[in-house]
Amino acid sequence: MTVATKDSIELPLGDDLRQSADAWLAFLRHERGYAEKTLQAYDRDLRQFFTFLKGHLGHSPCLADLARLEAKTFRAFMAARRRNGLVSRSLARTMSALRQYFRWLEAREVIKNRAVLQLALPKIPHSVPKPLNVENAAKVVERGMETEFDWVAARDVAVLLLLYGSGLRISEALGIKAKNAPTGDRDMLRIVGKGNKERLVPVLPIVGNAVARYVALCPYTLGPDDALFRGAKGGPLSPRLIQLAMERLRFALGLPTTATPHALRHSFATHLLSAGGDLRQIQELLGHASLSTTQAYTEVDRERLLAVYDAAHPRS
């Protein structure tokens, strides 16, 4: 971990504190299999906390300082972050990172300080996934089938159909190697998702055909271990380009603003549940570690059923 301020100037820390931070992040990467984006967020959280401590203590912090921290110091840090505009979800993640870090220090018998555990995590506003309805999802699929000769358009459609047809995250779709391209008779795809959690997902014929069409049109040589989906210059495809493709599709088809690439994954889960899919099986298909995460889709389906009831029941 390179501890630096937002101006990329190295933040002075005690050597013991710097080494412990590096070791903790390495532990999360290699033993817990945390995603790179999560590690980057936790890295930022630690940097911000250490920066606050330097100003609060009046000197560069070390492990001995961490051992003496009181709950009021963590409250002051949270208040400072809140004043800087941090929303509850980000603040909860920051405090979760600090809790994990201090628990790790205690487990390694480096220091023991449970003051941070005395603080309640900020309440996160309840929200439910916002999937496309079946009709709008069908529009995305039908528009995709119109692509014939434009390899970039064929590529974008193949990625979007993987999100809706197989319930993948963008990072998972863009992480597929050319040798694992779901074309031909391959109707299953092995995906390594968050936390290095491995799962098998189905590949519908319409999705396999879209990927095969992209592969046939792609002007670049796709080596077995290369990324399947390429950018215009031949490098790995950026997630931002898929987001832009969905924005164009949203405008062309008159879709709601909630129609994002990730909404296609939500649609995959919600439509399966509406058709009678088993919640446990949907959890496996999505790669959720906890069933409670998947249960959010039951609330989406409940709202849909109530809307139909209110619209159709003579006593509504």
Which H or E run contains 292? helix 291-294
**What are the tens digits of pLDDT across the range 135-172?**
777 777 776 666 566 899 889 989 999 998 888 988 89
Residues of the chain with CATH 1.10.443.10: 134-312
- Catalytic one among 29, 44, 262, 304? 262
Report pLDDT for 301.
Answer: 56
Active site residue 288: yes
User: Over 90: is that where the pLDDT of 98 sits?
Assistant: yes
CB atoms within 10 A of CB 104: 15
User: Over 90: is that where the pLDDT of 73 sits?
Assistant: yes
Residues of the chain with CATH 1.10.150.130: 15-118
Percent of the chain with pLDDT over 70: 81
CATH number of 15-118: 1.10.150.130
Report pLDDT for 6.
Answer: 37
Report pLDDT for 3.
Answer: 40
- Catalytic one among 54, 194, 199, 304? 194
Active site residue 6: no
**Residue whose C-alpha is closest to residue 128's, from 261, 307, 298:** 298
Active site residue 18: no
- Catalytic one among 47, 81, 271, 288? 288
Residue range 187-213: mean pLDDT, rounded:
86
- Catalytic one among 93, 265, 266, 271? 265
Active site residue 214: no
DSSP secondary structure string, 8-68? SPBPP--HHHHHHHHHHHHHHHHTS---HHHHHHHHHHHHHHHHHHHHHHSS---HHHHHH
Residue range 33-62: mean pLDDT, rounded:
89
CATH architecture of 134-312: Orthogonal Bundle (1.10)
User: Over 70: is that where the pLDDT of 105 sits?
Assistant: yes
Whole-number Å distance between alpha carbons of 298 and 261: 21
User: Over 90: is that where the pLDDT of 267 sits?
Assistant: no
Residue range 254-260: mean pLDDT, rounded:
82
User: Over 50: is that where the pLDDT of 227 sits?
Assistant: yes
- Catalytic one among 139, 169, 250, 271? 169
Residue 85 or 275, more confident: 85
Active site residue 271: no
DSSP secondary structure string, 84-139? TT--HHHHHHHHHHHHHHHHHHHHTTS----GGGGSPPPPPPP----PPPHHHHHH
Report pLDDT for 135.
Answer: 76
Active site residue 262: yes
Contact indicator for 111, 63 with CB cutoff of 8 Å: yes
Contact indicator for 261, 170 with CB cutoff of 8 Å: yes
